Chain A
Amino acid sequence: MAATADTIERTSEPPRLRVAARLRELSLYREILMNLVRKELKVKYTASVLGAVWSILNPVVFLGVFTLVFSVVLDNGIPSFPIFLLSGLLAWNLFSVSLTQAARSVIDNSNLVKKVYFPREILPLSSIGVALVDFVLQSLVLVVFMVAIGYDFHASSLVLLPLAFVAILAFTVAMSFLVSALNVRYRDVQHLLTLGLLVWFWMTPIVYSAWLVQDRAEGHAFLGIDLFDFYLVNPMAGIVSGFQRALYGVVRPEGAGSPVLLDVSVGWLALLLTLIAALSVFLLWLTWRTFFRLSGDFAEEL
Chain B
Amino acid sequence: MGLPAIEVDGISKKFRLYRERPTSLKARLISSRTSAEDFWALHDVAFTMERGTSLGLIGHNGSGKTTLLKVIAGILRPTSGTVRTRGRIAALLELGAGFHPDLTGRENVYLNASFLGLSRKHTTRAYDDIVAFAELEDFMDNQVKFYSSGMLVRLGFAVAVHVDPDILLIDEVLAVGDEGFQARCLDRVRQFQRDGRTIVLVTHALDTVREICDRAVMLHHGRIHAAGAPDEVVRELRYVLLRRDPAFIPEEGTREVEIASVELIREDGSTDRPVRPGEALTIQTDVKANEAVDDLDVSFAVYDWRNHPVCDGSTTRSGAVMDRFEGKKRVRFALRSVPVEAGKYWVTVGLSSRDSGRLYHVQTQRYWFEVQQQEAGRARVAVPIEVDVEDL
Q: Chain A: residues with CB nearer than 8 A to chain B? A: 1, 3-12, 14, 31-32, 35-36, 38-39, 42-43, 46-47, 111-118, 185-188, 296-297, 299-300
Contact = CB atoms under 8 A, between A and B. Distances in A.
A12 B78 contact: yes
B84 A32 contact: no
A116 B77 contact: no
A154 to B, nearest CB: 42
Which 10 pairs show the lowest CB-CB distances between chains A and B?
Answer: A296-B77, A117-B74, A115-B94, A115-B93, A31-B114, A10-B83, A116-B115, A12-B80, A187-B23, A35-B114
B interface bracket (residues with beta carbon within 8 Å of A)? 35 or more
Among the interface residues A35, A36, A299, which one has the most CB atoms of the partner chain B within 10 A?
Answer: A35
Given A39-B111, A114-B75, A9 B88 contact: no
A9 B103 contact: no
B82 A9 contact: yes
A17 to B, nearest CB: 15
A116 B23 contact: no
A112 B97 contact: yes
Given A9-B84, A118-B115, A186 B28 contact: yes
B266 interface: no
Contact of A300 (B76, B107, B166): B76
A7 B78 contact: no
Contact of A42 (B28, B91, B102): B102
A186 B78 CA distance: 23
Contact of A11 (B26, B28, B82, B110): B82
A184 to B, nearest CB: 9
B79 interface: yes
Given A4-B87, A32-B115, A112-B97, A42 B103 contact: yes
Given A4-B166, A112-B115, A188-B25, A10 B103 contact: no
Interface in B313-332: none
25 contacts: A1-B166, A3-B88, A4-B87, A4-B88, A6-B86, A7-B86, A8-B84, A8-B85, A10-B74, A10-B82, A10-B84, A11-B81, A12-B78, A12-B79, A12-B80, A32-B114, A39-B100, A42-B107, A46-B103, A112-B97, A113-B75, A116-B116, A118-B115, A296-B77, A299-B70
Contacts of A118: 115
Contacts of A113: 75
A10 to B, nearest CB: 5
B30 interface: no
Interface in B56-84: 70-71, 73-84
A186 B97 contact: no
Interface string B86-114: 11110101100110101100010011001
A185 B114 CA distance: 28
A61 to B, nearest CB: 25
Contacts of B107: 38-39, 42
A111 B75 CA distance: 12
B3 interface: yes
B98 A112 contact: yes
B84 A7 contact: yes
A3 B89 CA distance: 10
B78 A10 contact: yes
Given A11-B81, A115-B93, A117-B89, A188 B24 contact: yes
A12 B77 contact: yes
Contacts of B71: 10
Interface in B150-188: 166
Contacts of B73: 117
B380 interface: no
A69 to B, nearest CB: 36
Contact of A116 (B79, B91, B143): B91
Contacts of B86: 4-8
A299 B41 CA distance: 15
B111 A116 contact: no
Among the interface residues A10, A112, A297, which one has the most CB atoms of the partner chain B within 10 A?
Answer: A10
A289 to B, nearest CB: 16
Contacts of A8: 74, 84-86
B81 A31 contact: no
A276 B42 CA distance: 47
B146 interface: no
